[in-house]
Amino acid sequence: MSNDLHAIGVLTRSTTHDLNNCMSAILAFAELVLESLPADHPARADVVEILRTGRSAVVKTRELDQMARKLAPIGQS
């Protein structure tokens, strides 16, 4: 059972790392779009929502990674 939990932790940590990389790109592009839109552009609200939701996803991903680190600490294989 311990080996199974460790394997789940390793897989989860790998997945959260990949998700964090994806979210970094999404948030960076959304920031660029927001900066380029005029203040009264109708799409601004949608881009702000993308940023809000993306930041929330980053928080959830970090929480998941913290739990996974308990199952598979760095340096243990």
Q: What is the pLDDT of residue 77?
A: 53
CATH architecture of 2-71: Orthogonal Bundle (1.10)
Q: What is the pLDDT of residue 74?
A: 73
Q: What is the pLDDT of residue 21?
A: 96
**Hey, where are the domains in the chain?**
2-71
Query: Is-contact 3 63, C-beta < 8 A?
Result: no
Q: What is the Cα Rg of the chain in Å?
A: 17
SS3 60: helix
| Mean pLDDT in order along the chain per 10 residues (77 residues) | 87 95 97 97 98 97 94 73
Q: How far apart are CA 59 and CA 34, in angstroms?
A: 21
